[in-house]
Structure 1
Amino acid sequence: MKIVFVVMRFGQDGLSTNILELSRGLVDKGHELHIITSGFRTGATTDTTFFKELKTTFTTLGIRLHYFMEPSGNPIKKIGLSIQSLLKIGSVLRKLNPDVIHCHSPNLTFIPWLMGRKYVSTVHADTIRPNSRYKHPTLLIAVSEGSKEFTERVMGSPPESIRMVYHGISDRFATLIPDNEIQELKKINAIPTDKIILGFVGRISELKGTDILVAAIGKYLSKETREKIHIVLVGDYLNKDKEHWLAAMLAEQEIEHQITVLPFQDPKPFYQLFDVFVLPSRSDTFGLVAVEAMMSGCCTIRADSNGAYDQIDHGINGMIFQMENAAQLGDQLEQILNDEPLRQQMAKKGKKKALENFTNQQMIDNTIAVYEELVRM
Structure 2
Amino acid sequence: MKIVFIVMRFGKDGLSTNILELTRGLINKGHDIHIITSGFKSIGTTNTVFFEELKSEFNALGVHLHYFKEPTGNPLKKTLLSLASLTRISRLLMTLNADVIHCHSPNLTFIPWILKRKYVSTVHADTITPNARYKHPTLLIAVSQGSKEFTEKVMHSPPKTIRMVYHGISDRFAQPISKDSINQLKLDHNIPTDKLIVGFVGRISEMKGTDVLVEAIGSFLSPEIRSNMHLVLLGDYLNKDKEKWLDDMLLEQQLKDKVTIVSFQDPKPFYQLFDVFVLPSRSDTFGLVAVEAMMSGCCTIRANSNGAYDQIDDGVNGMIFKMEDAAELGQKLEQVLLDENLRNTFAIRGKEKALKHFTNRQMIDNTLTVYEELMSL
Q: Deviations over 1:40-79 (max 9, x none)?
A: 1011211111111111111111111110010010111111
Equivalent position SS for 1:66? strand
**Separation in 2 of the partners of 1:357 and 1:157?**
26
Equivalent position SS for 1:217? helix
**Separation in 2 of the partners of 1:47 and 1:97?**
36
Equivalent position SS for 1:323? coil
Q: Deviations over 1:102-126 (max 9, x none)?
A: 0000000000000000000000000
Q: Match for residue 70 of structure 1?
A: 70
Q: Which runs of 5+ in 1 are unaligned?
A: none
| Matched residues, number | 377
What amino acid is the match of 1:269?
P
Deviation of the 1:218 alpha carbon = 0.6
**Separation in 1 of the partners of 2:7 and 2:229?**
40
Q: Match for residue 39 of structure 2?
A: 39
TM-score under structure 2 length normalisation: 1.00
Q: Which runs of 5+ in 2 are unaligned?
A: none
**Separation in 2 of the partners of 1:249 and 1:82?**
40
Identity score, percent: 71
**Separation in 2 of the partners of 1:240 and 1:206?**
14
**Separation in 1 of the partners of 2:346 and 2:201?**
19
Over aligned residues, Cα RMSD in angstroms? 0.5
Q: Match for residue 298 of structure 1?
A: 298
Q: Match for residue 339 of structure 1?
A: 339
Equivalent position SS for 2:302? strand
Q: Deviations over 1:212-233 (max 9, x none)?
A: 0000001111111101100000
What pairs with 1:347-366 in structure 2 (closer than 5 Å)?
347-366=347-366
**Separation in 1 of the partners of 2:364 and 2:156?**
27
**Separation in 2 of the partners of 1:374 and 1:168?**
21
What pairs with 1:19-168 in structure 2 (closer than 5 Å)?
19-168=19-168
Deviation of the 1:372 alpha carbon = 0.4
What amino acid is the match of 1:275?
D
Deviation of the 1:4 alpha carbon = 0.1
What amino acid is the match of 1:159?
P
179-188 vs 117-126, which moves further: 179-188
Consecutive aligned runs of 4 or more in structure 1 exceeding 2 Å deviation: none
Q: Match for residue 313 of structure 2?
A: 313
Deviation of the 1:29 alpha carbon = 0.4
Q: Match for residue 370 of structure 2?
A: 370
**Separation in 2 of the partners of 1:2 and 1:67?**
18
Deviation of the 1:190 alpha carbon = 1.2
Equivalent position SS for 1:305? coil
Q: Match for residue 261 of structure 1?
A: 261
**Separation in 2 of the partners of 1:199 and 1:163?**
33
Deviation of the 1:188 alpha carbon = 1.1
Deviation of the 1:27 alpha carbon = 0.5
**Separation in 2 of the partners of 1:279 and 1:368?**
30
**Separation in 2 of the partners of 1:188 and 1:26?**
36
Q: Match for residue 330 of structure 1?
A: 330
Equivalent position SS for 1:224? helix
Q: Deviations over 1:271-325 (max 9, x none)?
A: 0000000000000000000000000000000000000000000000000000010
Equivalent position SS for 2:36? strand
Equivalent position SS for 1:89? helix
What amino acid is the match of 1:126?
D
Equivalent position SS for 1:243? helix
Equivalent position SS for 2:16? helix
Q: Match for residue 240 of structure 1?
A: 240
**Separation in 2 of the partners of 1:80 and 1:370?**
36
TM-score under structure 1 length normalisation: 1.00
Q: Deviations over 1:328-360 (max 9, x none)?
A: 101101111101101100110000000000000
Deviation of the 1:236 alpha carbon = 0.4
Deviation of the 1:90 alpha carbon = 0.2
Q: Deviations over 1:148-185 (max 9, x none)?
A: 00000000000000000000000000000011110111
**Separation in 2 of the partners of 1:30 and 1:235?**
34
**Separation in 2 of the partners of 1:11 and 1:52?**
12
Q: Match for residue 170 of structure 1?
A: 170
**Separation in 2 of the partners of 1:324 and 1:13?**
21
148-157 vs 37-46, which moves further: 37-46
